[in-house]
A and B are shown apart, each in its own frame.
Chain A
Amino acid sequence: MPYHEFECSKCIPERKQHAVTKGPGEDLTSCLPKGYLNTIPGSISERGCAYCGAKHVIGTPMKDVIHLSHGPIGCTYDTWQTKRYISDNGNFQLKYTFATDVREKHIVFGAEKLLKQNIIEAFQQFPDIKRMTIYQTCATALIGDDINAIAEEVMEELPDVDIFICNSPGFAGPSQSGGHHKINIAWINQKVGTVEPTITSDYVINYVGEYNIQGDQEVMQDFFKRMGIQVLSTFTGNGSYDDLRAMHKAHLNVLECARSAEYICNELRVRYGIPRLDIDGFGFEPLSQSLRKVAMFFGIQDRAEAIIAEETARWKPELDWYKERLKGKKVCLWPGGSKLWHWAHVIEEEMGLKVVSVYTKFGHQGDMEKGIARCGEDALAIDDPNELEGLEALEMLKPDIIFTGKRPGEVAKKVGVPYLNAHAYHNGPYKGYEGWVRFARDIYNAIYSPIHQLAALDISRDPIPTDKGFVTQRMLSDASLPEEIRASTTLRQYSGAYDSVTPLRDKTYPTFDSRPAAAE
């Protein structure tokens, strides 16, 4: 039987089809859980809302935009300063959030006038910012304010500003995923094609589904620039509003998170004929393959190979130092959506970890298909997990570490399982070759912290070891390691800096000769 029935969920039988264990020889035809269905009320699910999927996940990483939520203050407050999507313009998008502050009288009499005053006021307070995104919330969706009409009015009155409207109230869908879809489609409908960009390279891409968590986008952009590729826009991490209005002029859409941003790629293909190429910036091999694929599309494989060779030589010995010490460690890979399949196989192959469970809060069946296909036998896959199921799984699987969100991480802590933040990372970025080593380093530091031994000791009944004044991570990780590995002179620990991203901002790049014009 592939379905896994949780003891705690026996009383809600519909949950049974949301968890599977991948048995010996089983494939997806026999083990695919249901996904992206309505949440069971009262189950203490971990899902967020469609507003947060639109505003918090995809909208706000745009860096040169006033992000105004049309509603009471709570929605905007709650989705502010809980992420680590940085930018190269001083983190405006992290620092400032705007709410129209809808009150009872507006609920009764309408809040359109309030909205208009808010828009004008916000531009006055931040005269250097000329772009705005307005997010609808539950309250203003229900009272039916015509946000589009107000925005049009303001744009006529203030010709130098541009406003994007995102109608994605919190209740619009079973999870944040509904919001991802809505803002993707809204952007292409309203904004793509309204700016003509300057093309500076023969090779032009949009980098899509990348949110610059701790600098991921900047790391990947560095590779593209080293290959002479122009990154016309990034949707949306560290992305610029006007660059994203010019998405229609790219030659290729390079898609990272296919869960949250495949919609706009698919539309760009349909409407503008721009092909979509799915890539993966996590892990040496997937990243190398990704760079090769992009290069192959443009016929510049040599440029990719040069980068791959250089980066691998620099960082592989450090990755392998950790791999030797992480072999066989059990992981619950419990992220939000796409990382379950971005990471599942590659942390096994490149770090030696064993994925004992994957879950997804807001993923669809397609994400589970990919994730389960990439898991080994006995992996437990859970769709829309809830609090009790998570605890039951931790008790059953006894993982050495869990990759999940901040709050579930606190739950894991109490049962003695260290956590790494799968959404915001601990000490990222995790993309790129160096980033992947940083991830391995963070996992190592989490698993081999001497605090876990201390935590397990019950001083009232256990013998208290008095022979040691301290224990180091190495004393724990190397205890059963063969001598040749322990003493290896080729393997080494991470040697990068605390901040690996800021230096990229001042980097200069080689110029490549233009491709000779093809004969017509």
Chain B
Amino acid sequence: MSCELKLKERIGTINPIFTCQPAGAQYASIGIKDCIGIVHGGQGCVMFVRLLISQHLKESFEIASSSVHEDGAVFGALNRVEEAVDVLLMRYPHVKVIPIITTCSTEVIGDDVDGVVTKLEEELLQVKYPDREVHLIPIHTPSFVGSMVSGYDVAVRDFVKYFAKKDKPSFKINLITGWVNPGDVTELKRLLAEMQIEANVLFEIESFDSPLMPDKSAVSHGSTTIEDLISTADAQGTIALNRYEGGKAAKFLEKRWDVPAIIGPTPIGIRNTDTFLQNLKAMTGKPIPDSLVRDRGIAIDAITDLTHMFLADKKVAIYGNPDLVIGLAEFCLDLEMKPVLLLLGDENAEYENDPRIKALQDSVDFDMEIVANADLWDLEDRIKNKGLELDLILGHSKGRFIAIDNMIPMVRVGFPTYDRAGLFRYPVVGYKGATWLAEQMANALFTDMEYKKNKEWILNVW
């Protein structure tokens, strides 16, 4: 009976769980209103990330490229950034925020992006756009460092760092959601509204689930404004839901602007949502209302129908973003399930000191492996060649063939989930998320029982 945190044993990556840093920075950037990022590198670094995001959300988002070609790779490509900024500003009059997001190629050739931003501020912006509010923000996200998760974390910090400024104290709190779905934001906002807490929800992407309107006017973009970002320094406190996606910004605000920070836990499952509400209460002094007691009761009621009858002892493998994976594992334990394998798709020295991982190591009473720097072959190889038996897989769509080929039911969760309809619309956080997750898992098991004719008759009288 042990729970071990280890690194992937192989040196290479077969079927990566994550893409690279610039993708995370791009995802953060589309959460800001009037913002179009410029990714400084080859065109694929943007084109494929836009495709990936559109696969997941079934929406298109605008992100530009500096289109570095061969000459730029040889002689330096800062002129491409200068031109890109000008072209973007000329053609998109509403744009105010332009992050310059670096990639491996432009970090390797050593383009001085910070220098060119200063130059643009002193020359182009003053001469050609003197009356226009424009913010150019260098964001360094070389692809050979970290992953899309750290890219998101770095970008959120850099945006906050750039804008945050004290004005007058506010009763609002900052809520940094991390890399979530529109459905999660809706649920978080609902919880805040029930608590009557005014929050500055940062990198607010609820509107990514955008309508098709009769006047054809809808475009998808995030809702966090420059003012929202500036006022982060005035907040009563910051809650960053995810340690690894927004934690850096929360720490920055605490250190630089004395805004108290609470980082985590990711409010997945009943227990972590309880803690989230307790944190909100502690930070604002607002009580937890009866309405949420009732909401919680509905979730508990739903879970009670499922847990000891269907979910107990089911062996689960979970992969994806670290905060999501840990949150799901904790919830699974509360549901009497056995998360036997957790795969974290990058290497991060902080995992060792993560109190949630330590708690798992201290208390889990079955064999659990936590693999950092993992890839999806870590999962498939264990199933195919090493005798791992699973009842369920929780993870994003890139692992779909593991479930299909090995006939293991799977609930899609995380990013991206392009092979199931509309999942971005549903929360995994909060009480609603807890209900949804438990019921999705149960329904996946039920469908599997029916396809495999494995005691499918049990459901006759449930």
Interface residue ranges, A against B (CB under 8 Å)? 8-9, 11-12, 38-52, 68, 71-82, 91, 94-104, 106-107, 114, 117-118, 121-122, 125, 137-139, 141-143, 169-176, 387-388, 405-408, 410-411, 413-416, 455-458, 462
| CB contact between B70 and one of A46, A173, A406 (< 8 Å): that residue | A173
Question: Restricting to B45-65, which residues have a CB under 8 Å from any CB of A?
Answer: 45, 47-52, 54-55, 58-60, 62-65
Q: With A8-B91, A407-B54 known to touch, is A81 a contact of B73 (CB < 8 Å)?
A: no
A398 and B15 alpha carbons, distance in the complex (Å): 42
**B18, B20, B54, B86: the one within 8 Å of A42 (CB):** B86
The interface centre, meaning the residue of B18, B48, B377 with most chain A CB atoms within 10 A of its CB, is B48
Instruction: Judge if B117 is at the interface, Cβ distance under 8 Å.
Output: no
| Chain A residues whose CB sits within 8 angstroms of the CB of B69 once the complex forms | 38-39, 171-174
Residues on B with C-beta less than 8 A from A106 are 144
- Determine whether the beta carbon of B43 is less than 8 Å from that of A74: no
> Contact between B401 and A410 (Cβ–Cβ < 8 Å)?
no
Contact A96 B14 (CB under 8 A): yes
CA distance A12 to B21 in the complex (A): 31
Which of the segments B212-220, B221-229, B256-264, B356-364 contacts the partner chain? B212-220
Minimal beta-carbon separation of B430 from chain A (angstroms): 28
Q: A74-B143, A78-B19 are in contact. Are A101 and B13 (CB under 8 A)?
A: yes
**Contact, CB under 8 Å: B142 / A11:** no
Structural contact, A138 and B42, CB atoms closer than 8 A: yes
Q: Chain B residues near A41 (CB, 8 Å)?
A: 38, 64-67, 80-81, 83-84, 87
A74-B23, A170-B45, A455-B212 known; A410+B54 contact, CB < 8 A: yes
Most buried by A among B14, B85, B109, B377: B14
Q: Which of B139-170 contact A (CB under 8 A)?
A: 142-145, 147-148
- Chain B proximity of A345: nearest CB distance (Å): 29
A-B contact pairs, 14 of them (CB 8 A): A8-B91, A9-B91, A39-B69, A40-B87, A42-B84, A49-B47, A99-B13, A102-B104, A104-B145, A107-B104, A138-B42, A173-B70, A414-B212, A458-B215
Q: Is B44 in the interface zone, CB < 8 Å from A? A: yes
Other-chain residue from B12, B45, B58 in contact with A101 (beta carbon distance below 8 A): B12
Given contacts A38-B67, A77-B20, contact A407 B60 (CB under 8 A): yes
Chain B interface size range: 35 or more
- Given A40-B83, A114-B11, A48 and B44 touching (CB < 8 A)? yes
Q: Is there a chain A Cβ closer than 8 Å to B68's Cβ?
A: yes
> Taking the complex as formed, is B88 at the interface, i.e. its CB lies under 8 A from any CB of chain A?
yes
With the chains together, A143 CA to B147 CA distance in Å?
20
Shortest CB–CB separation between residue A140 and chain B, in angstroms?
9
Contact A104 B91 (CB under 8 A): no
A81: B residues at CB distance < 8 A: 397-398
Indicate the member of B60, B72, B88 with the most A CB atoms within 10 Å.
B60
Chain B contacts for A48, CB-based, 8 A: 43-44, 47-48
B36, B47, B50, B85: most-surrounded residue (chain A CB, <10 A) = B47
Output the nearest chain B residue to A122 by Cβ-Cβ distance.
B12
Assess the B58–A410 pair: CB atoms within 8 A.
yes
Specify which chain A residues have a CB less than 8 angstroms from the CB of B45 in the assembled complex: 49, 74, 170
Digitize B6-27: 1 where CB-to-A-CB distance is under 8 Å, 0 elsewhere. Answer: 0000111111101111110000
Known contacts A41-B67, A73-B16; is A78 also within 8 Å of B90 by CB? Answer: no
Contact of A78 with B398 in the complex, beta carbons under 8 Å: no
Answer whether A42 and B85 are a contact pair too, CB < 8 Å, given A170-B105, A388-B91.
Answer: yes
B49 proximity list for chain A (CB < 8 A)? 78
Q: Name the residue on A nearest B106 (C-beta).
A: A138
Given A48-B43, A96-B14, A408 contacting B19 (CB threshold 8 A):
no
Residues on B with beta carbons closer than 8 Å to the beta carbon of A406: 51, 54-55
Bound together, the chains give a CA A98 to CA B11 distance in angstroms of 11
User: In the bound complex, do residue A175 and residue B43 qualify as a contact, i.e. CB atoms below 8 Å apart?
Assistant: yes
- Determine which of B15, B87, B105 lies in contact with A97 in the assembled complex, contact meaning CB atoms within 8 Å: B15
Q: Do the beta carbons of B22 and A457 come within 8 Å of each other? A: no
